[in-house]
Amino acid sequence: MSLKRFIFLFVVIFSQVVFSQKKSASGSDASVIVPNEDLAIILTNVNGATSDIEKAKPPPYLSTGNGILIQQVGDYNVAYVNVTSKTMDIQINQEGDYNFYEFAKMSGGKVNVKVEQKGESNNTMNNALYSQYNMNMETMQNGNDLTIQTIGANSISSNMKITQTGSGASVIVISN
């Protein structure tokens, strides 16, 4: 290949890269196509719900008694769900960064869990391994560095609702 052809190809190929980059009119970074908040709203609209995340309806398949809905807005949010149950309805909503949710339940019983985490670095861990009790649990965290940990399940804790606000607080519930 001659030097002229090489230079011509080099200019043609790299001119495409240079001219394909442009600055957005609003002055924001044009490489970010859809921010996280808008993406969550788009995904919510796809499921036929309103555009407000807090008023989002779960998709129709959750009404059959078996479903998991996870909505995450922010960076580095984690949700681990390990459930063995004939009937389950699990809804997880994480808004903020570095939020963590873990749920483990094996052996029987209906599971109905709703989790809402708003803020930064919140942790919720629900472990009810080998419990035959039905579980109807709702946990809400609104703040930063909040921790809720539930271990086990019994007739008292099977219909539990925990609401936690502020920052740097912990709640631990142990049921036998």
Task: Give the pLDDT confidence of 107-138 residue by residue, as tens digits.
Answer: 677 888 899 999 999 999 988 877 778 888 89
Q: pLDDT by residue (tens digit) across 138-152? A: 999 999 999 999 888
Query: What is the structure's pLDDT at 13?
Result: 74
End-to-end Cα spacing for the chain: 79
**CB-CB contact of 82 with 59 (8 Å):** no
Please say whether the dihedral angle defined by the alpha carbons of residues 33, 38, 44 and 50, taken in this order, is positive or negative.
Answer: negative
Report how far residue 78's alpha carbon sits from residue 123's, in angstroms, rounded to the nearest whole number.
Answer: 10
Q: Of 162 and 31, which is predicted with more confidence?
A: 162
Work out the burial of residue 172: count CB atoms within 10 Å of its CB; fewer than 13 is exposed, 13-18 middle, 19 or more buried.
Answer: exposed
List CB contacts of 56: < 8 A, sequence separation 6 or more: 44, 47, 49, 50, 71
User: What's the pLDDT score for residue 105?
Assistant: 80
CA–CA separation, 68 vs 112, rounded Å?
10
| Between 6 and 106, the higher pLDDT residue | 6
pLDDT-derived band at 15, boundaries 50, 70, 90: low
69 confidence band (pLDDT: 50, 70, 90): confident
Spatial CA neighbour of 165 closest among 149, 150, 148 = 148
pLDDT in tens, 17-64: 555 444 545 555 544 444 555 555 444 444 444 444 445 555 554 445
When mean pLDDT is compared over 1-5, 107-111, 170-174, the highest value belongs to: 170-174
Q: How is the beta sheet containing 88-95 ordered, strand by strand?
A: 66-73, 88-95, 111-118, 135-144, 161-167
Domain ranges of the chain: 65-174
